[in-house]
Amino acid sequence: MTTPSFDDFEDVDLIAAPAAPFVAKAGIYHNLSNEQYHKSDGVSCSGLKHVIDGEADFVWSKQCPQDPEALRQFDLGTAFHCIIGEYDQFDNRYIIAPEFNRRSNQGKADEAAFLAEVASENKIVLTFEDSKQLRMMRESCFAHPVCRKLLEMDGTAEASIYWTDPETGVLMKIRPDKFIQLNGHHIILDYKSIGQFERMADQVENLKYHMQDAMYSDGYQKQFGVIPDFYFMFCSTSINCGRYPATCRQLPDDWKRSGHHLYREALHKYHQAKSNNDWLTIPELQRPRWARD
């Protein structure tokens, strides 16, 4: 990849996010909360991934209750996303605990007292060890020249884009981690944490990141009239020789086409189920590849 060197940034026409309840219409919204985005109308890429597994699974994903206590617990992927892409919000969402000696009774008592003291702040508590790992992961990304270039470029983070699919009439929505507009060069940047760094390709396929690439690129084109370059920034959650490997990758055209076919197929399944109000299909379970003749 040739990293563009641009100096002037194009202005992005953003619609100020209204107060809840939010009624989604085609356009781009700045400062729309993550909660408002997920509760709003419109089909997201994660929703269509559920449709692939079964139309009823999509309904389940919308109706199944979530344990609020579990939502307040530490999640490394979410915390990495915040510290790399929304660094100015990190202290508003997380509290870093001091280092405690949990092998001693005094250390355990000190930790319990600290947790009781900060319980009312409604923030996620990071252990000293977790916070150290997150800081090192962030520094690892900035140590990579391409990652650093993209991270330091001015851009728009966490904007929500809505559009009506012309073929099905379905309202669609995406929320890119960051997009950059530089002298006609358009980039979407997506942050991914990964347990096994050497298995990036497997994770793209298994978690259907190529489907996200295609759908986000389509939504961006609907809003701005330009097909963007789509880059994944990977950072390992596993340490290797004292470091957390980081890199930036883009997908080849054939993988992008496969992702486009996958998301369009899921969208048509969703549209048909919604039009007929019939979500009660039961898909066949496929044998694993290793078990096939």
CATH number at residue 256: 3.90.320.10
Q: How far is CA 127 from CA 76, 92, 113, in A?
A: 11, 16, 14
Supply the range of the domain harboring residue 63. Answer: 17-91+135-277
Let me know if 48 is exposed, middle or buried by CB neighbors in 10 A (0-12, 13-18, 19+): buried
Q: How far is CA 228 from CA 211, 213, 215, 225, 260, in A?
A: 15, 10, 11, 9, 14
Per-residue pLDDT, 12: 45
Query: Taking 70 as the threshold, does the pLDDT of residue 9 lie above it?
Result: no
Per-residue pLDDT, 200: 94
Query: Taking 90 as the threshold, does the pLDDT of residue 267 lie above it?
Result: yes
For residue 4, being part of any structural domain is answered with: no
Per-residue pLDDT, 115: 84
- The torsion angles phi and psi of 182, rounded to 5 degrees, stand at -135, 105
* Biggest CA pair distance of the chain: 65
Per-residue pLDDT, 212: 97
Residue 168's contacts (CB-CB under 8 Å, 6 or more residues apart) are: 267, 268, 271
- Count of H-run helices and E-run strands, the chain: 12, 11
Per-residue pLDDT, 20: 52
Q: What gap in Å lies between CA 124 and CA 122, rounded to an integer?
A: 7
Per-residue pLDDT, 78: 87
pLDDT digits (tens, 9 = 90+) for 29-78: 998 888 889 888 999 999 999 999 889 998 998 888 877 666 666 688 88
For residue 120, being part of any structural domain is answered with: no
Query: Taking 50 as the threshold, does the pLDDT of residue 6 lie above it?
Result: no
- Reduced to 3 states (helix: H, G, I; strand: E, B; else coil), residue 213 is helix
Task: Give residue 205's pLDDT band: very low, low, confident or very high (50, 70, 90).
Answer: very high
**Structure tokens, 20:** 């809840």
Q: Where are the beta strands (DSSP E) in the chain?
A: 15-16, 27-30, 94-96, 124-126, 156-157, 160-164, 171-174, 178-182, 185-194, 229-236, 246-249
Per-residue pLDDT, 231: 97
Domain count, the chain: 1
Query: Taking 50 as the threshold, does the pLDDT of residue 5 lie above it?
Result: no
Q: Cα–Cα–Cα angle for 36, 169, 166, nearest 5°?
A: 110
For residue 164, being part of any structural domain is answered with: yes
pTM: 0.85
Residue 23's contacts (CB-CB under 8 Å, 6 or more residues apart) are: 40, 41
Cis peptide before 21 (omega within 30 of 0): yes
The fraction of the chain above a pLDDT of 90, given in percent, is 57
For residue 29, being part of any structural domain is answered with: yes
pLDDT digits (tens, 9 = 90+) for 271-285: 999 999 999 988 888
For residue 175, being part of any structural domain is answered with: yes
For residue 290, being part of any structural domain is answered with: no
For residue 128, being part of any structural domain is answered with: no
Average pLDDT (137-148) is 96
pLDDT digits (tens, 9 = 90+) for 102-140: 888 888 888 888 888 888 888 888 888 989 999 999 999
pLDDT digits (tens, 9 = 90+) for 213-251: 999 999 999 999 999 999 999 999 999 999 999 999 999
Residue 147's contacts (CB-CB under 8 Å, 6 or more residues apart) are: 141, 233, 246, 247, 248
For residue 116, being part of any structural domain is answered with: no
Strand-strand pairing, 246-249 and 94-96: unpaired
DSSP 255-267: HHHHHHHHHHHHH
DSSP symbol at 225: S
Task: Please indicate whether residue 173 or residue 25 has the higher confidence score (pLDDT).
Answer: 173
Average pLDDT (134-149) is 96
pLDDT digits (tens, 9 = 90+) for 150-195: 999 999 999 999 999 999 999 999 999 999 998 889 999 999 999 9
